[in-house]
Chains A and B, each alone.
Chain A
């Protein structure tokens, strides 16, 4: 397919269709409403269904219902809307159903503002809802990468029978970039006979599938949590993705940054290089599981004196960066969280002050 010019939000909608997901339930909120805007027109063309819920709480449970019935399903929202869905996300994780949630983050807390933010990092990566639940979380830095991650998200959700989240800042949703779509994937979850409540007729098994998150027996509940933990450990072993930039040679400092913020850092690194100052960067592509090993190895380069966690939040990812570096060299935070994205010049100033 030829390249087209698309807004991130539109491309996310199209990518879900290409991934064989024809069920989309959502509630509008800036800055992700264009996903619904796009899909309300596009889904009927491919025999899909878009339903607007009466709230994000309702949408969360519509996703749970569809996931439990064994169909590919996804939703998109922005920060406050994701908070409202977080109860359902915990239920879906507990009941081990696959679903994809996209959070196009805006400024918070509270209603905050409509401009880009990365301030839902802790919410997304440290459990989101109540109980011991985790999401596999991928953070795209371009419209093309958002497409690829959305397409990966559905098979991963099915592999783990667990919700997967795409964590994009507002800019990912709103900016336009040329983008290419790969071919269509399969339309049905591959392993659904093991868990979907879609009737007994076509199945060989005589056991009924039951979608539930209530385990009153403490042994059963503990067993369920152990099963979930085993899945999260497997994600840590098998799904970590990160990209390194300017880390081949020596560098005095290391930046850890993700999403569109990492693109600002990349420009800053290029500009610093022309002045003879080398800074490396690790860009987490999965933020849960976090690329601990990649960050630790890059920080342990003998020339590296300092690690900077640069994020559009008041210092959230830095907790994972510190956990990775384990106190071996200093780690500090820089960021903004009002909607103004730090410029390459601001990043350069911080590097000069703390590293160069």
Chain B
């Protein structure tokens, strides 16, 4: 099943659910398919491991990353660059927003209501059952409610991200898929796609997975590890 996304897509979710890795890898995936992609780092709450750290890798591929001004890049200040409103007013093929975690991180979306007025927007909630507070269906739905309240926007779909970093197994992915289905049914929201570490993609038994699968190549790694090469997941 092919993963196709276009228009304005906003990635939200609990703190540490994997939004940034997904946004980066989704940008690369759609760019490789010939879609013009702009990715904005809207993480105003996290001090490290933000999209901005992958900016060089993304720029090399020709993906436009919208960031706070250079001199404030390493600050823990909630800086919303005016360029974001501009990109929302004139969206390109895929206009991707990587938002900060929890309801606190999603608060910034309420400030962008004006440029998004009248546009069709997909707001996708990343769920990771291996994280505290989103390990149950009710936990994920509670997170959804609190994000929607602060963002003043409705969530329109689910992204299942059952990763445990280097400890992730095929079993985790399959169990995570089943969990995502449950959240999708309970919340009456479509499951847009799930993710898997790229290294597991070929081994993964996909016959029972009825949604697209995005291969993740980890970018935000500590300095003793190397980021995986960003290549189209096809």
- Taking Cβ atoms with an 8 Å cutoff, the residues of A that contact B are 3-7, 10, 14, 30-31, 34, 37-38, 41-42, 113-116, 170-171, 174-178, 260, 263-264, 266-267, 339, 341-344
Closest residue of chain A to B163, judged by CB? A5
Residues of A within 8 Å of B49, CB to CB, are 174-176
Q: A178-B167, A263-B222 are in contact. Are A5 and B128 (CB under 8 A)?
A: yes
In whole angstroms, how far apart are the Cα atoms of A114 and B48 in the complex? 9
Q: Which of B75, B132, B165, B222 contacts A10 (CB 8 A)?
A: B132
Asked if B131 CB lies within 8 Å of chain A CBs, one says yes
In whole angstroms, how far apart are the Cα atoms of A344 and B128 in the complex? 31
Residues of A within 8 Å of B130, CB to CB, are 3-5, 178
The answer to whether B76 touches A114 (Cβ under 8 A) is: yes
The answer to whether B48 touches A170 (Cβ under 8 A) is: yes
Q: A3-B167, A178-B164, A178-B167 are in contact. Are A30 and B47 (CB under 8 A)?
A: yes
In whole angstroms, how far apart are the Cα atoms of A42 and B132 in the complex? 10
Asked if B234 CB lies within 8 Å of chain A CBs, one says no
The answer to whether B47 touches A260 (Cβ under 8 A) is: no
The answer to whether B224 touches A263 (Cβ under 8 A) is: yes
**Known contacts A6-B16, A342-B223; can you find 4 more A-B pairs with CB under 8 A?**
A5-B164, A42-B132, A113-B74, A263-B222
In whole angstroms, how far apart are the Cα atoms of A7 and B102 in the complex? 14
The answer to whether B48 touches A267 (Cβ under 8 A) is: no
The answer to whether A264 touches B48 (Cβ under 8 A) is: no
In whole angstroms, how far apart are the Cα atoms of A274 and B184 in the complex? 49
Residues of B within 8 Å of A42, CB to CB, are 132
Residues of A within 8 Å of B163, CB to CB, are 5
**Proximity bits, B17-61, A CB within 8 Å = 1, else 0:** 000000000000000000000000000000111000000000000
- The secondary structure that dominates the A interface is mixed
Q: Which of A3, A30, A177, A343 contacts B76 (CB 8 A)?
A: A30
How close is A43's CB to chain B, nearest CB, in angstroms?
13
How close is A29's CB to chain B, nearest CB, in angstroms?
9
Q: A7-B16, A115-B74, A264-B223 are in contact. Are A174 and B164 (CB under 8 A)?
A: no
- Taking Cβ atoms with an 8 Å cutoff, the residues of B that contact A are 15-16, 47-49, 74-76, 128, 130-133, 135, 163-167, 222-225
Which of A38, A178, A343 has the largest number of chain B CB atoms within 10 A? Answer: A178
The answer to whether B165 touches A177 (Cβ under 8 A) is: yes
Residues of A within 8 Å of B15, CB to CB, are 7, 34, 37
How close is A2's CB to chain B, nearest CB, in angstroms?
8
Residues of B within 8 Å of A341, CB to CB, are 223
The answer to whether B47 touches A4 (Cβ under 8 A) is: no
Residues of B within 8 Å of A339, CB to CB, are 74
Residues of B within 8 Å of A30, CB to CB, are 47, 76
The answer to whether A41 touches B133 (Cβ under 8 A) is: yes
A-B contacts, 8 listed (Cβ < 8 Å): A3-B167, A14-B132, A31-B48, A114-B74, A174-B48, A174-B49, A175-B48, A264-B224
The answer to whether A343 touches B223 (Cβ under 8 A) is: yes
Which of A5, A176, A264, A267 has the largest number of chain B CB atoms within 10 A? Answer: A5
Residues of B within 8 Å of A342, CB to CB, are 223
In whole angstroms, how far apart are the Cα atoms of A31 and B135 in the complex? 25
Residues of B within 8 Å of A344, CB to CB, are 223-224
Q: Which of A4, A115, A174, A263 contacts B132 (CB 8 A)?
A: A4
Residues of B within 8 Å of A37, CB to CB, are 15
In whole angstroms, how far apart are the Cα atoms of A235 and B132 in the complex? 36
In whole angstroms, how far apart are the Cα atoms of A38 and B101 in the complex? 13
The answer to whether B47 touches A3 (Cβ under 8 A) is: no
Residues of A within 8 Å of B224, CB to CB, are 260, 263-264, 266-267, 344
In whole angstroms, how far apart are the Cα atoms of A263 and B223 in the complex? 9
The answer to whether B222 touches A175 (Cβ under 8 A) is: yes
In whole angstroms, how far apart are the Cα atoms of A170 and B49 in the complex? 12
Closest residue of chain B to A267, judged by CB? B224
In whole angstroms, how far apart are the Cα atoms of A115 and B76 in the complex? 10
The answer to whether A176 touches B74 (Cβ under 8 A) is: no
How close is B57's CB to chain A, nearest CB, in angstroms?
15
How close is B178's CB to chain A, nearest CB, in angstroms?
16
Residues of A within 8 Å of B166, CB to CB, are 178
Q: A41-B133, A344-B224 are in contact. Are A5 and B165 (CB under 8 A)?
A: yes
The answer to whether B132 touches A176 (Cβ under 8 A) is: no
In whole angstroms, how far apart are the Cα atoms of A157 and B75 in the complex? 35
In whole angstroms, how far apart are the Cα atoms of A31 and B75 in the complex? 11
Closest residue of chain A to B222, judged by CB? A175
Q: Which of B75, B128, B222 contacts A171 (CB 8 A)?
A: B222
In whole angstroms, how far apart are the Cα atoms of A171 and B16 in the complex? 15
The answer to whether B165 touches A178 (Cβ under 8 A) is: yes
In whole angstroms, how far apart are the Cα atoms of A343 and B224 in the complex? 7
6 closest Cβ contacts across the A-B interface? A174-B48, A267-B224, A30-B76, A263-B224, A178-B167, A341-B223
In whole angstroms, how far apart are the Cα atoms of A343 and B226 in the complex? 10
How close is A180's CB to chain B, nearest CB, in angstroms?
10
